[in-house]
């Protein structure tokens, strides 16, 4: 017993020392620290199970990496990283899946279900859905060439969802830069996090409806966005007409859409950021523009900051200790009698 307690204290202290040197901290809302070793004894193969299933899915469809990363982002920005996004509609739940940022847009939910079933078989009632999202996001990034980071674990799952917050708190493609920065700051994130986490758009696809206004009516004057490269705009118009084709898909990074790298930032520098929220990082703030240029010039710096920012984002108001629950099924809260 003494040996086990000593080992746990060493693990906790080592994480706290590391946290002191990073941007952010791994403490949960219940006063318990999130630690990468959380499941080492209760479910020692948890990380391997998640990675194996994610790896199979990404090998089958590279786009799934971006989809899983986006699930974690959209979960954390709404009442914290608590798996609330995964809850379906019920008599007591108004699902976040129906919000404007998520409706007909989020993907990978069935894969999260698959991971949960495997973990419940291996370690019943142990690994939370919120932690599955965090691990799946990290594994997705590394599997397509991005950085690795140790994921602090120990989150618990919410008993509620918040559709209104999902509509209001998640940054939107057409938001102004001040609005985007404010939404990040409301979550305890800073300018470095804004730009570094925007770099997630180095992978994945976006729908025509998310950027159409840049092609035809950026400022309400029936004119395109002058910051968009003219040749690139012509390419986009071919499959993104003034009306119709809302769900036509385009790569967020035209050059390497399935590889996690820094070409997203290089694209922005030449007017080829797909979304308004991408391009304004260069055009509306000297501070964010400096970071765009720094990441375009130094992929290692981008990877370092991205990994740190992912840990910070993953620490947004997690439920820990006796808060919330560990759901048996990520789509619904457990039966409480």
Q: Is 75 annotated as a binding residue?
A: yes
| Residue 48 marked as a ligand binder | no
Quick check: is 25 catalytic?
A: no
Asked if residue 253 belongs to a known ligand binding site, the reply is yes
3-state SS, residue 27: strand
- 336 labelled binding-site residue: no
Question: Is residue 277 a known part of a binding site?
Answer: no
Ligand-binding site membership of 261 (annotated): yes
Catalytic residue chosen out of the listed positions 25, 45, 74, 121: 74
User: What residues contact 211, with CB distance under 8 A and at least 6 apart?
Assistant: 173, 236, 240, 250, 274, 275, 276
The annotation status of 152 as a binding-site residue, yes or no, is no
- CA–CA gap between residue 234 and residue 218 (Å, rounded): 15
Q: Does 256 appear as a known binding residue?
A: yes
Could you tell me which residues come within 8 angstroms of residue 270 by beta carbon, excluding any fewer than 6 positions away? 229
Between the alpha carbon of residue 112 and those of residues 62, 151, 233, 262, 328, the distances in Å are 16, 17, 36, 28, 12
Angstrom distance (rounded) from CA 104 to CA 293: 34
**Residue 201 labelled as part of a binding site:** yes
- Spatial neighbors of 43 by CB under 8 A, at least 6 apart, are 119, 122, 123, 126, 127
Tell me whether residue 78 is annotated as binding: yes
The binding site for Ca(2+) comprises: 75, 78, 80, 82, 84, 96, 202, 253, 256, 261
The binding site for heme b comprises: 201
The binding site for substrate comprises: 171
The binding site comprises: 75, 78, 80, 82, 84, 96, 171, 201-202, 253, 256, 261
Catalytic residues: 74
């Amino acid at each position: 017993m003494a040996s086990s307690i000593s080992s746990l204290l060493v693990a906790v202290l080592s994480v706290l020392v590391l946290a002191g040197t990073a941007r952010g901290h791994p403490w949960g809302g219940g006063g318990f620290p999130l630690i990468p070793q959380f499941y080492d004894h209760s479910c020692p193969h948890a990380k391997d199970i998640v990675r194996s299933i994610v790896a199979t899915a990404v090998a089958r469809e590279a786009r799934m990496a971006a989809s899983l990363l986006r699930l974690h982002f959209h979960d954390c920005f709404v009442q914290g990283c608590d798996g609330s996004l995964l809850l379906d509609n019920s008599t007591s739940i108004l699902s976040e899946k129906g919000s404007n940022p998520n409706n007909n847009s989020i993907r990978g939910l069935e894969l999260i279900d698959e991971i949960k079933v495997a973990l419940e078989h291996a370690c019943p009632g142990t690994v939370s859905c919120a932690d599955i999202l965090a691990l799946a996001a990290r594994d997705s990034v590394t599997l397509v060439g991005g950085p690795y980071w140790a994921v602090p674990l120990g989150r618990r799952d919410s008993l509620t969802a918040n559709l209104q917050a999902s509509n209001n708190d998640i940054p939107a493609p057409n938001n102004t830069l001040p609005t985007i920065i404010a939404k990040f700051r409301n979550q305890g994130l800073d300018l470095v996090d804004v730009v570094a986490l925007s770099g997630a758009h180095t992978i994945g696809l976006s729908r025509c409806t998310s950027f159409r206004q840049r092609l035809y009516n950026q400022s309400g004057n029936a004119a395109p966005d002058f910051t968009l490269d003219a040749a690139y705009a012509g390419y986009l118009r071919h499959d993104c007409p003034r009306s119709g084709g809302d769900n036509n898909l385009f790569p967020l990074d035209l050059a390497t859409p399935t590889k996690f790298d820094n070409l997203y930032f290089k694209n922005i520098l030449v007017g080829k950021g797909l979304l308004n929220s991408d391009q304004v990082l260069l055009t509306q703030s000297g501070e964010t523009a400096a970071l765009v240029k720094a990441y375009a010039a130094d992929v290692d710096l981008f990877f370092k900051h991205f990994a740190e920012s992912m840990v910070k984002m993953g620490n947004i108001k997690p439920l820990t200790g006796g808060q919330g629950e560990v759901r048996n099924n990520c789509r619904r809260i457990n039966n409480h009698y």
